[in-house]
């Protein structure tokens, strides 16, 4: 599996990948792109623009909001602009930009430590209640354990 498209997609002009809380975007640049001074990269809460000279490489409305003040970019000369976007709200995105085909992102469960504290407490309470019920019913405590 290509880390540049992990839980994301390759769109030709750019590739993107994601975790539950952030996105990595690689925007392909021409072979003569060696200086950040030739680039315009605008990260807004709802959009992304990457230009090289007069040539627009990526321009679109993001599928969901990002924290623009916590996002950044860097140039890997002659390769790509790497844009790191911090999601405004942890969630899985089916696409980076509005209008692009949905990526094949499998449904994923969040690790307990990534849940907001109220939700984590609810999950723990439900687990405890299930354990208590299993003990009363004489079933194995671990539902994955053999009987």
Classify residue 110 by its DSSP letter. Answer: P
Kindly indicate the confidence band of residue 116, based on its pLDDT and cuts at 50, 70 and 90: confident
* Inside any domain, residue 127: yes
pTM of the model: 0.72
Q: List the domain range (segments joined by +) for residue 120.
A: 108-138
Same domain, 52 and 119: no
* Inside any domain, residue 96: no
- Domain containing 35 — which CATH number? 2.60.40.790
Same domain, 9 and 72: yes
Asked if residue 93 has pLDDT above 70, the reply is yes
* Inside any domain, residue 103: no
User: Over the stretch 31-59, which tens digit does the pLDDT of each residue have?
Assistant: 999 999 999 999 999 999 999 999 999 99
Report, as an integer, the average pLDDT of 68-79: 96
């Amino acid at each position: 599996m290509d880390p540049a498209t992990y839980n994301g997609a390759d769109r030709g002009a750019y590739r993107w990948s994601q975790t539950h809380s952030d996105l990595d975007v690689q925007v392909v640049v021409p072979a003569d792109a060696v200086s950040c001074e030739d680039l315009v990269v605008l990260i807004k809460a709802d959009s992304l623009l990457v230009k090289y000279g007069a040539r627009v490489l990526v321009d679109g409305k993001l599928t969901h909001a990002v924290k623009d003040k916590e996002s950044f970019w860097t140039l890997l000369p002659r390769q790509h602009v790497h844009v790191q976007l911090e999601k405004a709200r942890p969630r899985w995105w089916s696409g980076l930009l509005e209008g692009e085909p949905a990526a094949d992102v499998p449904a994923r469960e969040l690790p307990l430590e990534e849940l907001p504290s109220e939700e984590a407490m609810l999950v723990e309470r439900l687990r405890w209640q299930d354990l208590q019920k299993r003990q009363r019913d004489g079933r194995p405590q671990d539902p994955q354990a053999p009987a």
